[in-house]
Amino acid sequence: ELYSYEDQNKEKESFVSQLPKTKGWLGSNSTLCLYQNFWCPPTIVPNIISFQNHFQALDQDIIIASKPKSGTTWLKALLFSIVNRANTTLANTPLLSSNPHELVPFFEFNLYTRNQKNPPLIKNISSPRLFSTHIPYDSLPKSITKSQCRIIYICRNPLDTIISHWHFANQADDSDHLDHCSSKWTLEEFVDAYCNGEEVYGPFWSHILGYWKQSVENPQKVMFFKYEELKKDTKTQVKRLAEFVGFPFSLEEEALGIVDEILKLCSLKNLKELDVNKHGKFMPYFENKSYFRKGEVGDWINHLNSATVERVEKLVHKKLNSSGLIL
Ligand code: A3P
């Protein structure tokens, strides 16, 4: 042990204090800092560094990657149900008593906290281990990119993501000592920050393109999902997901209605009404209920004027079009 915990913390704090800063969205005094070309809350940077330095991926690991508000919670519930369907019945699945984020933890929020090198929680997870992250592909630890472990990325139409994120940001919980009232963002401010790329884990175009490129070049490693496709044909997409992670549904299972049962279990309507998701709190700053809102495609039409829509669409066109990805 070369450095003590305190020394390592000090070193990380001074490193973080020197990073470029912009306005954050958790409380009026909060900031985001630019680490490895993406913006994130300064308190998360030490966690990300621990994760990058210490995580040892196993080939069987499955990792969900996303930008916030793209459908992460839903995908976690589906993946957990697919992978654990042999061990649990739908009547006693842990999803009935735990929020999906508890069952598929984030490396940077839930595991590599407080400078831990070997978070005890990781040791207790049985294989295949399910994890998640919001950090861009290029910042993933080499042990993830070099191993055979699989990555599932979910993205969502930027207009809907903005609206979803804006609602979410304005719901941060007072009990975590946030200056809640004055932290409210107007939608205009939020759109501005988003279009400037100065939003959590943004710029969104780099985040999406980083994983998109890998899914094209390395399709057995990275599978790309769109929230809209998942909504439109959930069953087909869920079967595609199950095959990708090595847990395909047999014809017999399909005939028994197992896929349909999983879809029902993981539906917004069902998850939202569970006691744990109505009243519980697992993630820092946010109550479980904040992760379940409307779950609709095209809700932006109720919030954005045509000039804003045009601005975002032009930007998306400019940044993504040459990649072949249509959002
Ligand atoms: P809206 O705010 O548009 O309703 P994330 O999980 O990445 O934080 O994304 C949250 C978004 O996914 C929210 O979108 C939320 O309502 C939606 N969502 C959560 N659970 C869902 C589910 N089971 N089915 C469909 N959408 C879901």
Reading the block at residue 47, the tokens are: 């966690």
Reading the block at residue 204, the tokens are: 């969104």
Of 293, 296, 300, 301, the one to substitute when testing ligand 1's pocket (max ligand atoms within 8 A of C-beta) is: 293
Distance 272 CA to ligand 1 centre (A): 10
Residue partners of 105: CB distance under 8 A and separation at least 6: 111, 121, 131, 132
Residue 213 backbone dihedrals phi, psi, to 5 degrees: -60, -45
The pairing of beta strand 62-66 with beta strand 150-155:
parallel
Is the pLDDT score of 175 beyond 70?
Answer: no
Residue 292 CA: nearest ligand 1 atom is 16
Position 128 scores a pLDDT of: 96
ipTM of the complex: 1.00
pLDDT tens digit string along 160-169?
999 999 999 8
pLDDT tens digit string along 274-318?
999 999 999 888 999 999 999 999 999 999 999 999 999 999 999
pLDDT tens digit string along 104-140?
999 999 999 988 889 988 988 889 999 999 999 999 9
Does 134 participate in catalysis according to the annotation?
Answer: yes
Alpha carbon distance 224, 137 (integer Å)? 13
To the nearest 10°, report the CA torsion of 269, 270, 275, 278.
-20
Alpha carbon distance 13, 309 (integer Å)? 39
Which residues is 16 bridged to in the sheet? none
Of 66, 292, 303, 304, the one to substitute when testing ligand 1's pocket (max ligand atoms within 8 A of C-beta) is: 292
Taking residue 28's Cβ as centre, other Cβ atoms within 10 Å add up to 14
pTM (2 d.p.): 0.96
